[in-house]
Amino acid sequence: MQAKALDVGVGKIRADVVVLTHFEEEPLGPAAAAADEALGGLLSAMLASGEAKARFPERALVPTRGALASPRVMLLGLGPRNLLDGYRLRNALQFAVRDTRAFCRSLAVAVEPALADVLAVPATGQAPQSPARAIAEGVVLGNYHVGELKAAEDKGEIEELQLVGLGSGSDLAAALAAGVRLAEATNATRVLQWRPANRLTPSDFVAEAERVAKARGLALRVMERPEMEKLGMGALLAVAQGSHQPPKLMVLRYRPRGSDGSGRVLALVGKGITFDSGGISLKPNPGMNAMKSDMSGAAAVLQAMAVIAKTEPRIEVLGLAPLTENMPGGGAVKPGDVVRAMNGITVEINNTDAEGRLVLADALAYAVSLGATHLVDVATLTGAVSVALGHPVTAAMGTSADLLNAVRSAALEAGERVWELPMYPEHDVALTCEIADIRNTAGVPAAGTINGAIFLREFVAGRPFVHLDIAASSYHFEPLLNKVVPVGPTGVMTRTLAHLPFHLG
């Protein structure tokens, strides 16, 4: 998508649709008021009658019949001003684009001063949180569609965004370009998330990684089973042994041209289970197809690395993903089996469906061996996180207040929501084990999400570590929620991870 900033009055905008935003309980902003006047008061009449609403995220499409240079406007309700954050704004724009992309190629957003104020939160990153970037991201995110395998899918997209009302300088152009790049990476994550498991095996995933690495000049190494055996990655190998697909370990490396001399090496580690059947601890039938997306963390890491290669932070960044299926084949690991991870820790696998922490254990230990000084993993780890926080939030647990703060400020810049769960010493006892150093699940439904983090913490050699559980935030199909959060895969944490290297203190 192309995006440009223009300095013209609302009546002169030439686009297939002009989006006019509106806050609840507030008068129309100057742009919407100008359009209303040109339309002879039609917009305010529609609001008065209830035909259009300022509730989040109500859309009313209004033909202009020659009163403006554009053939239609959309009145987009953003709800109460004090409840709008970057996440909600992007979602509202996604809805606006989903409504119009079938018949509109160009879309303009008329930015009201009140909206620009709300979005101008201070951030410490490389590109400041700017309304222009947020809006470009929302529009591009709306272009995502799921039908890559359908012959008759409506492939209509918004091809051009015009941003009106913020001026037109080169800073704005840069912010728009950054937003387009970040959201296109997010959409690429979504495509991978929803690609069926027979078309995205571990081997297919590393082929994608090869394409990205080549296009962006990243170094890529793909580790195969013999080397995993040599390094003693017993936890990753245990998960892989029930599948006919060979496991892979993706290792992407970004090296800065001019390092900041701090010696920091940030490792991003994404869970890459290309299908999670549960293994011998087989999952129940309903909804198992969604487990094709159990590589959402790996996809977010891959696409974040693609952005990082372009934005060029001054520290080294590693992007790792342990990739395998979790299947109940004849050679599968069995509940009660004990394996040894790369760092020497022995694990009793009392539930083969807690496979994500097993593959991440070896990937984290390997990242440490490569010199990672800060580690962040992203994983669809526990169903429990949707009970704890619901779909619009990613859970964060960490061992370092500084690294947690860096993740929070990167997420703020990304328009993604992250909320911390604790790791108190009393949580540790859940994974104590009689016959091995640790077991992989507590076996009781208590603090399930936290137990995942407690487990992973064993494999980071005491380095600053944050675990992000995206099992809930990676996708949703909740009938009630779909009115306020777009259904389907979200590409969550792609943008947060892409910003993160710029936020390390």
Q: Which residues bind Zn ion (CB under 5 A)?
A: 273, 276, 294, 356
Residue number, 348 or 355, with CB nearest to Mn ion: 355
Binding to ligand BES (CB under 6 A) within 288-307 occurs at 294
CA distance 59 to 94: 11
Q: Which is nearer to Mn ion, 79 or 278 (CB)?
A: 278
The alpha-carbon radius of gyration of the chain (Å, integer) is 24
CB-wise, 273 or 368, nearer to Zn ion?
A: 273
Q: Which two tokens stand for residue 58?
A: 């109500």
Name the one residue in this structure whose structure tokens are 């690429």. 188
Q: How far is the CB of 353 from Mn ion (least distance, A)?
A: 4
| Whole-angstrom distance, CA of residue 338 vs CA of residue 114 | 59
Report if residue 353 touches ligand BES, rule: CB under 6 A. Answer: yes
Under rule CB under 5 A, residue 325 binds Mn ion: no
Query: Does residue number 382 form part of the binding site for ligand BES (CB under 6 A)?
Result: yes
Binding string, residues 264-283; x marks residues near ligand BES by CB under 6 A:
------------x-------
| One of 36, 353, 413, 416 touching Mn ion (CB under 5 A) | 353
Contact status, residue 192 vs residue 137, Cβ threshold 8 Å: no
Q: Among 356, 392, 415, 491, which residue interacts with ligand BES (rule: CB under 6 A)?
A: 356
Interactions with Mn ion, residue window 266-305 (CB under 5 A): 276
**Residue of the chain from 100, 130, 343, 380 that contacts ligand BES (CB under 6 A):** 380
Minimum distance from CB of 452 to Zn ion (Å)?
10
**Contact stretch for Mn ion (CB under 5 A) within 216-224, 349-357, 409-417, 494-502:** 349-357
Q: Which is nearer to ligand BES, 356 or 501 (CB)?
A: 356
491 CB contacts (<8 Å, ≥6 apart)? 141, 144, 185, 186, 187, 188, 189, 190, 193, 299, 300, 303
Integer angstrom CA distances of residue 408 from 79, 296, 418: 24, 20, 6
Q: How far is Cα 105 from Cα 56, in angstroms, rounded to an integer?
A: 24
Select 138 or 297, whichever has its Cβ closest to Zn ion.
297
Task: Give the range of 41-49, 187-195, 222-230, 350-358 binding ligand BES by CB under 6 A.
Answer: 350-358
Using CB positions, name the residue nearest to Mn ion. 353
Q: How far is the CB of 103 from ligand BES (least distance, A)?
A: 35
Q: Give strand pairing partners of 319.
A: 252, 268
Report in angstroms how near the CB of residue 357 gets to ligand BES at its nearest: 8
- Burial of 439: CB neighbours in 10 Å, binned 0-12, 13-18, 19+: buried
**Residue 448 binding partner per list Zn ion, Mn ion, ligand BES, none, with a CB distance cut-off of 5 to 8 Å that depends on partner kind:** ligand BES
Calpha distance 365→463 (Å, rounded): 11
Interacting residues with ligand BES between 133 and 172 (CB under 6 A)? none
Q: How many chain residues interact with ligand BES (CB under 6 A)?
A: 15
Q: Report the distance separating Cα 343 and Cα 263, nearest Å.
A: 23
Residue indicated by tokens 């084949």: 329
Closest residue by Cα to residue 377 from 493, 204, 277: 493
Q: Does 441 bind ligand BES (CB under 6 A)?
A: yes
Residue 490 in contact with ligand BES, rule: CB under 6 A:
no
Residue 415: how many other CB atoms lie within 10 Å: 25
Q: 1 touches which of Zn ion, Mn ion, ligand BES, none (CB within 5 to 8 A by kind)?
A: none
One symbol per residue from 224 to 263: x for binding ligand BES (CB under 6 A), - otherwise; what is it?
----------------------------------------
Q: Assign 220 to helix, strand or coil.
A: strand
DSSP H or E segment with residue 264:
none
Place of tokens 């959309």: 74
Q: How far is the CB of 327 from Zn ion (least distance, A)?
A: 12
Query: Min. distance of Cβ 294 from Mn ion in angstroms?
Result: 7
471 binds, among ligand BES, Zn ion, Mn ion, none (CB under 5 to 8 A by kind): ligand BES
Residue 190 is classified by DSSP as H
Q: Strand order in 337-340's β-sheet?
A: 337-340, 346-349, 438-439
Catalytic residue at 292?
no
Query: In whole angstroms, what is the distance from residue 497 CA to residue 208 CA?
Result: 19
Stretch that binds ligand BES, among 67-75, 168-176, 382-390, 490-498 (CB under 6 A): 382-390
The answer to whether 416 touches 493, Cβ cutoff 8 Å, is yes
Compute the least distance from the CB of residue 174 to Mn ion, in Å. 42
Looking at beta carbons only, is 57 or 247 nearer to Mn ion? 247
**Is residue 469 at the binding interface for ligand BES, with CB under 6 A as the rule?**
no
Give the integer Cα–Cα distance in Å for 239 and 179. Answer: 38
Residue nearest to ligand BES (CB): 383
3-state percent helix, strand, coil for the chain, nearest multiple of 5: 40, 20, 40
Q: Give how many residues touch Mn ion by CB under 5 A.
A: 3
Q: How far is CA 113 from CA 21, 24, 58, 110, 467, in A?
A: 11, 15, 20, 10, 38
Nearest to 2 by CA among 20, 15, 11: 15
Measuring CA to CA, which residue among 226, 213, 296, 332 is closest to residue 469?
296
The interface region with ligand BES, picked from 57-65, 239-247, 374-382, 407-415 by CB under 6 A, is 374-382
Choose, from 357, 417, 439, 495, the residue flagged as catalytic: 357
100 contact, one of Zn ion, Mn ion, ligand BES, none, CB 5-8 Å limit per kind: none
User: Which positions touch ligand BES (CB under 6 A)?
Assistant: 276, 294, 351, 353-356, 380-384, 441, 448, 471
Residues known to be catalytic: 283, 357
